[in-house]
């Protein structure tokens, strides 16, 4: 039997592990931390006001059918293990001029937004069967009869405009424009640099909805680890790997950051040096706040926009410093009905500001910048309102997850190459060495890393066939 060693129990590593276990391979998974989940873990803390729980990374997911497909592949039902509930509105957007917009059904049905989504639908139809479902080496296999109909959308991929310039064609309203520009940050990029192809991101959110698992995002990796174990995968926690070549397995899959892997866990190569030439996706400055108050004006997910959006991205990607006037994201899962994530009368705030992927990063005093900015929206927090405050920055992402310079997604998608041809899923010199997760193909975010695990498992099956396995039809 072929032995497979997987490094990292992030969602991508777990997705690959469960599928390969089901296929009949002998899989060992090594995780440096004591729990599975990587960036999708949770934190709990007791305070004098009671107990709080925060999602440490993702706070919603879309494309739930991809998670369903993983369970179905293992002949189980996602709903039996991870009940998902819709997030509606998916987000509430706030501006200092007092404007508030909810991202709900009526938002997506506005004429200008509909026109945008109609355009993006073609991009999705053309890219989903190739880019999202296959490694670049197999894109040609997507060229079936139904694809001929979508070929007319190809010029949309050749549109080299930035997302921000492209969005101006659709939206005269400055608030709508800023909402649609922000979708570039879903993969850690700047709307002023990333390509208009990423109009796909709002299309996906509009079409597949925003979802949240009962009990928090960490239930996803927790249940995936159990699913993998049920497929015979052996999980080894508190086990950090320092040399990918030293692993005792004919097939190795790295779910850790692929840039870090090429710099630290493999002998230095030309390929590894080339990886450092591209812009890195942003990191985050994060505060987990136990708040002894409740704010009716805030929803589960909130964006409080900067008045100077262009300058914010110049600070992050050009000057590589924390933005002087940040856009602030606040997720409050305790607002969900029946939630126990905060004590009565309190809220669990996850506050995030996009930050440069630069380590070490001086964050001293930045809490005050964030609190001062919140006060411009009428949101005032005094010291007595705060039960606890934990902050995190690029240095912590580097230390906790081995994320290169603390970047959340490896490369930013600022060029055609970094958008379409991300760090490869298979090492060029070592065919038995693969990569999976948000820093490789097809990119970051829960659905994409689940797909990354799926794609890599199919590559392994193709390259190192396992004769006893008959694939189930996909749902």
Could you list the residues that contact ligand FAD (CB under 6 A)?
A: 7-13, 30-33, 38-40, 57-61, 240-241, 255-256, 284, 352, 401-402, 408, 437-438, 444-446, 449
Minimum distance, C-beta of residue 404 to ligand FAD, in the bound complex (Å): 11
H or E element at residue 200: helix 200-208
User: Among residues 240, 270, 268, which one has the least CA distance to residue 256?
Assistant: 240
User: Among residues 413, 454, 473, which one has the least CA distance to residue 194?
Assistant: 413
Minimum distance, C-beta of residue 68 to ligand FAD, in the bound complex (Å): 15
What phi-psi label fits residue 358: left (phi over 0), alpha (psi between -120 and 50 degrees) or beta? beta
Q: Any idea what the Cα angle at residue 86 is, between residues 82 and 87, rounded to 5°?
A: 120
- DSSP calls for 318-350: IS-S--SS--EEEE-GGGSTT--SS-TT-EEEE
Minimum distance, C-beta of residue 111 to ligand FAD, in the bound complex (Å): 28
> Do 121 and 202 touch, CB atoms closer than 8 A?
no
Q: Which is nearer to ligand FAD, 17 or 142 (CB)?
A: 17
Minimum distance, C-beta of residue 259 to ligand FAD, in the bound complex (Å): 12
Minimum distance, C-beta of residue 31 to ligand FAD, in the bound complex (Å): 5
Minimum distance, C-beta of residue 286 to ligand FAD, in the bound complex (Å): 6
User: Which stretches does DSSP call E strand in 95-156?
Assistant: 100-102
Minimum distance, C-beta of residue 240 to ligand FAD, in the bound complex (Å): 4
Q: Which is nearer to ligand FAD, 52 or 265 (CB)?
A: 265
> Do 124 and 200 touch, CB atoms closer than 8 A?
yes
Q: Which is nearer to ligand FAD, 208 or 295 (CB)?
A: 208
Q: Which is nearer to ligand FAD, 33 or 263 (CB)?
A: 33
Q: Which is nearer to ligand FAD, 157 or 435 (CB)?
A: 435
Q: Which is nearer to ligand FAD, 35 or 125 (CB)?
A: 35
Q: What residue has token string 């993702």?
A: 58
Q: Which is nearer to ligand FAD, 164 or 351 (CB)?
A: 351
Question: Cβ neighbours of residue 193 under 8 Å, at least 6 residues apart?
Answer: 162, 279, 313, 317, 412, 414
């Amino acid at each position: 039997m072929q032995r497979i060693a997987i490094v990292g129990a992030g969602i991508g590593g777990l997705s690959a592990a469960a599928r390969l276990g089901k296929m009949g391979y002998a899989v060992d998974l090594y995780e440096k931390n004591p729990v599975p989940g990587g960036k999708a873990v949770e934190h709990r803390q007791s305070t004098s006001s009671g107990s709080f729980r925060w999602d440490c990374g993702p706070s919603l997911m879309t494309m739930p059918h991809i998670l369903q497909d993983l369970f179905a592949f293992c002949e189980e039902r996602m709903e039996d293990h991870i009940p998902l509930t819709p997030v509606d509105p998916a987000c509430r957007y706030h501006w200092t001029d007092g404007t508030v917009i909810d991202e709900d059904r009526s938002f997506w049905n506005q004429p200008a937004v509909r026109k945008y989504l109609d355009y993006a639908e073609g991009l999705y139809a053309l890219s989903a069967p190739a880019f999202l479902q296959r490694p670049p080496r197999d894109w040609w296999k997507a060229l079936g009869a139904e694809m001929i109909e979508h070929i007319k959308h190809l010029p949309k991929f050749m549109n080299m405009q930035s997302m921000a310039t492209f969005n101006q064609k659709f939206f005269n309203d400055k608030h709508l424009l800023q909402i649609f520009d922000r979708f570039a940050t879903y993969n850690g990029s700047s709307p002023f640099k990333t390509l208009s192809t990423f109009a796909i991101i709002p299309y996906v959110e509009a079409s597949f909805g925003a979802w949240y698992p009962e009990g928090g995002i960490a239930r996803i990796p927790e249940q995936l680890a159990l699913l993998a174990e049920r497929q015979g995968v052996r999980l080894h926690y508190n086990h950090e790997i320092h040399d990918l070549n030293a692993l005792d397995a004919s097939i190795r899959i790295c779910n850790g950051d692929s840039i870090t892997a090429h710099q630290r866990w493999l002998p230095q190569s030309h390929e590894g040096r080339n990886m450092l030439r591209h812009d890195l996706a942003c990191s985050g400055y994060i505060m987990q706040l136990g708040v002894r108050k409740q704010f009716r004006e805030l929803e589960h997910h909130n964006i409080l926009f900067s008045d100077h959006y262009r300058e914010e991205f110049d600070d992050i990607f050009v000057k590589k410093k924390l933005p002087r006037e940040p856009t602030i994201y606040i997720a409050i899962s305790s607002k969900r009905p029946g939630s126990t994530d905060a004590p009565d009368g309190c809220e669990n705030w996850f506050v995030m500001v996009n930050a440069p992927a630069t380590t070490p990063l001086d964050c001293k005093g930045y809490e005050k910048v964030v609190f001062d900015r919140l006060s411009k929206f009428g949101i005032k927090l005094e010291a007595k309102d705060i039960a606890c405050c934990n902050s995190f920055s690029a240095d912590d992402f580097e230390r906790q997850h081995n994320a290169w310079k603390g970047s959340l997604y490896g490369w930013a998608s600022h060029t055609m190459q970094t958008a379409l041809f991300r760090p490869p899923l298979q090492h060029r010199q070592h065919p038995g060495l693969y990569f999976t997760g948000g820093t490789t193909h097809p990119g970051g975010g829960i659905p994409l890393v689940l797909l990354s695990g799926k794609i890599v498992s199919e590559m392994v099956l193709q390259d190192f066939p396992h004769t006893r396995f008959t694939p189930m039809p996909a749902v």
